[in-house]
Structure 1
Amino acid sequence: MDWEGSANAWIEAQGVHGDFSRRRVLDAPMLARVHAFSPQRLLDLGCGEGRFCRLLAKDVETLVGLDPSSALLAKASELGEARFVRGRAEDLPFESNTFDMVVSYLSLLDIEGIEAALDEVVRVLRPGGHFLIANLTGFATAADIKGGGWRILPDGSREIVVRRYLEPHTVVAEWKGIAVTNWHRPLSFYITQLLERGMALKFFDEPAVQHPTDPKEVAYNNAPYQLIMEWRAR
């Protein structure tokens, strides 16, 4: 179960503007962090079909999107707005100290060799560069929300069931014709790994829907589904 086989279903599910949580929760704060730092050279790590690159194109002088899926990169290249490169996060095809900012927009959970990938991010960042991360919360991946990790309560509401939170493990995520393998890792894993690499935490948030207008949005804000972290390299 991989992104190559799920590429067409993913592209259809995202459409032009992205899914609900990207449009209504993550895009605004992620763009705000990029604009606050004003990088000239930015790498979108795990860019997929290139949607976030297209949002950044007018504000970043040199913009590169990297992804291992040739099918997703073909769609990204068709729509344009950045230079797209096929490759893996564990072995980035770039010189050291190349980028002012690396962005991982919901892509760390797709990476099996995470330690090697984090080494590579630190390597390609220039001194003082920033690593901006959007990730699912650990309790969301431990509950396997995409796989139906819910319990129905007597009043008809739902609650998630969290298991094996402290244990990194794979989760098969299936929705809307997409079937991929994600990695659950507790938040402490990422923080410890980045601190060990000399990174300094500059920003943390658990974003919510701003100004919710319907029951779905109100319910979404009961607990954070995603988090944002921004780290600075030495």
Structure 2
Amino acid sequence: MSNGWAASADAWISSQGDAGDFARRHVADAPMLERVRRRRWRRALDVGCGEGRFCRMLAAKGVAVVGADPTEPLIARARELDPEGEYRVEPAERLSFDDGAFDLVIAYLSLIDIAELEAAIAEMVRVLEPGGVLLIANLNGFNTAGDVNDLGWVRLEDGRQAFALDRYLETRVGWIEWRGIRIQNWHRPLSVYMRLMLDQGLVLTHFDEPSPHSGDPARVARYMRAPWLVLMEWTKPGP
């Protein structure tokens, strides 16, 4: 069954542009890059790289990065925008790289798209060398437990807005639509992600729920009302 990404690729590319959407541009980019700047990386892998936006940002910082994504039109666009970059069409659940091939693996808002999450996490850890880092930005489970097409907000009888969520502890998949894009998103409680990382023997070395650092004041205020994103850094034990 299709998850909608191939059919939505053109609309996604048009929607993102070079700048990315609000959550990436004004919330997640800065803290993600701050974690990357902490040390010099030998080789990085961006899992679910899409059209390669974050790969290009990493390359501009001098990071040797490989992008992997299962959606062929998105990888084609990444190669078009970055002819010198390395991009591969392959799913997170079945990576073709050798064990320990990378010292940094990144999942930037891609875990919510992956059905076989346990297999994908295991693969990310397999290709990570001992002492390497798995850096994750993901939609907060509080957010994905709401009605994604209304961004979780409902209007109360007295006119106030409130964030409504339901079935938080239940792992489930749903369709989200905007700007001609129609894709599947997975909701999972935070405990699912934490347990899978811990089961792989990873050590949590950084955790954050980043807030907007710039952007339209009305959008910033909206993003400050409820948790939107979560950022985690996990280290694979080793020398």
TM bucket (normalised to shorter chain) is: over 0.9
Number of the residue aligned with 1:115: 118
- 3-state SS of paired residue (1:36): coil
Q: TM-score, normalised by structure 2?
A: 0.93
d(CA) in 2 for partners of 1:148, 1:21? 13
**TM superposition shift of 1:145:** 2.3
Whether the aligned pair in 1 keeps the contact of 2:102 and 2:127 (CA below 8 Å) is yes
1:198 aligns with 2:201: yes
**Structure 2: gaps of 5 or more residues:** none
Whether the aligned pair in 2 keeps the contact of 1:144 and 1:171 (CA below 8 Å) is no
Whether the aligned pair in 2 keeps the contact of 1:9 and 1:177 (CA below 8 Å) is yes
% identical equivalent positions? 48
1:126 aligns with 2:97: no
Match of 1:53 among 31, 52, 55: 55
Query: Which one-letter code corresponds to 1:83 in the other structure?
Result: E
1:172 aligns with 2:175: yes
Cα distance change of structure 1 residues 148 and 38 upon mapping to structure 2, 3 Å threshold: same
d(CA) in 1 for partners of 2:130, 2:174? 35
Number of the residue aligned with 1:44: 46
**TM superposition shift of 1:160:** 2.2
d(CA) in 2 for partners of 1:120, 1:12? 31
Matches within 5 A, 1:62-73: 62-73=64-75
**Cα deviation digits, residues 42-75 of structure 1 (max 9, x gap):** 0000000000011110334421000000100111
d(CA) in 1 for partners of 2:217, 2:60? 32
Whether the aligned pair in 2 keeps the contact of 1:147 and 1:174 (CA below 8 Å) is no
Match of 1:79 among 81, 85, 91: 81
d(CA) in 1 for partners of 2:149, 2:78? 25
1:187 aligns with 2:212: no
**Structure 1: gaps of 5 or more residues:** none
Number of the residue aligned with 1:30: 32
1:163 aligns with 2:166: yes
**TM superposition shift of 1:2:** 1.5
1:15 aligns with 2:12: no
**TM superposition shift of 1:215:** 2.1
d(CA) in 2 for partners of 1:124, 1:16? 29
Cα distance change of structure 1 residues 212 and 182 upon mapping to structure 2, 3 Å threshold: closer
d(CA) in 2 for partners of 1:207, 1:42? 23
d(CA) in 2 for partners of 1:163, 1:22? 26
d(CA) in 2 for partners of 1:18, 1:148? 18
Number of the residue aligned with 2:4: 2
- 3-state SS of paired residue (1:220): helix
Q: TM-score, normalised by structure 1?
A: 0.95
